[in-house]
Structure 1
Amino acid sequence: MINTILNMSLLLFMIAIAISLFRVIKGPSLPDRAIALDTIGVNLISAIAIISIVLKTKAFLEAILILGILAFIGTIAFSKYIERGVIVERKSTD
C-alpha cells in the first residue's frame, strides 16, 4: 500500500516537473521562468527524497542538500539578472 502511494506520488512529481519545464520554455515573461525553475528544483528534491524512501537508503540525502543549495543560488542569480540585467557587478576604476 505504501509502495503504491510512493510510486503514484513520484509519478505526480514527474508530471509537475514536465509542466514546469514547459513553463520554462514557453513562459510569457522572465519572472514566470524563474518561478518555474525554482518549482522544478523543489519538485526534483521531493522526487529524490521519495526515491530514497522507496530504495530504503540514505545515500541520496547529500544529493538532496546539494541540489537544494544549487537551486537556491540559481534562483537568486536569475532574479538578480531580471532585476538589474547583470549577475555580478564590477566596480569601475575610473
Structure 2
Amino acid sequence: MSVFIVAAVLLFLTILISIVRLVLGPSIADRVISVDTANTVAISALIVLAAAYKQAMFIDIAIVYAMLSFGGTIYFAHYLGAKK
C-alpha cells in the first residue's frame, strides 16, 4: 500500500509543477493547457488512491471530475476560438 501512497504524492507534486506553469505561462493557451494537465494528473492520483485504499468511491469521484474537467476544457476552447 505504501507504494501507492508514494505514487499519489509524486502525482500531486507534478500538479505543483503544473501550477508553476500556470503562473508563469506567457499566453492564455499555455495556462489552459497547464490547468488541463493538472486536472489529468489529479484524476490519475485519485485512481491510484482508489487502488491503495480499495475504495470505489475514489473512482466515482475521478469520473465526475474528468467529466467536469472536459466541460471546462471545451468552454475554454470555445472562449479562445471566439476571441480570435
Q: TM (normalized to structure 2)?
A: 0.89
Which structure would you say has the larger Rg? 1
Q: Matched residues in 2 for 1:46 and 1:56: separation?
A: 15
Q: Name structure 1 gaps, 5 residues minimum.
A: 86-94
Please tell me whether residue 61 in structure 1 is matched to residue 59 in structure 2: yes
More helix by percentage: 2
CA deviation profile, 1:6-26 (whole Å, cap 9, x unmatched): 222112101110011111122
Q: Displacement of 1:47 after TM fit?
A: 0.6
Q: Aligned to 1:4, which of 2, 5, 23? A: 2
Runs of 4+ in structure 1 deviating by more than 3 angstroms, as ranges, are none
Q: Matched residues in 2 for 1:52 and 1:25: separation?
A: 30
- Show the counterpart of 1:38: 36
Q: Aligned to 1:74, which of 72, 75, 79? A: 72
- Show the counterpart of 1:20: 18
Query: Between the two proteins, what is the percent identity of the paired residues?
Result: 30
Q: Name structure 2 gaps, 5 residues minimum.
A: none
Letter in 1 for 2:11: F
Q: SS where residue 60 of structure 1 aligns? A: helix
Q: Matched residues in 2 for 1:28 and 1:15: separation?
A: 22
- Show the counterpart of 1:90: none
CA deviation profile, 1:68-87 (whole Å, cap 9, x unmatched): 001111111111111213xx
How many residues align? The count is: 83
Q: SS where residue 28 of structure 1 aligns? A: coil
Larger RCO, structures 1/2 (Cα 8 Å, 6+ apart): 2
CA deviation profile, 1:31-83 (whole Å, cap 9, x unmatched): 11111111111101011111111111111222111100011111111111112
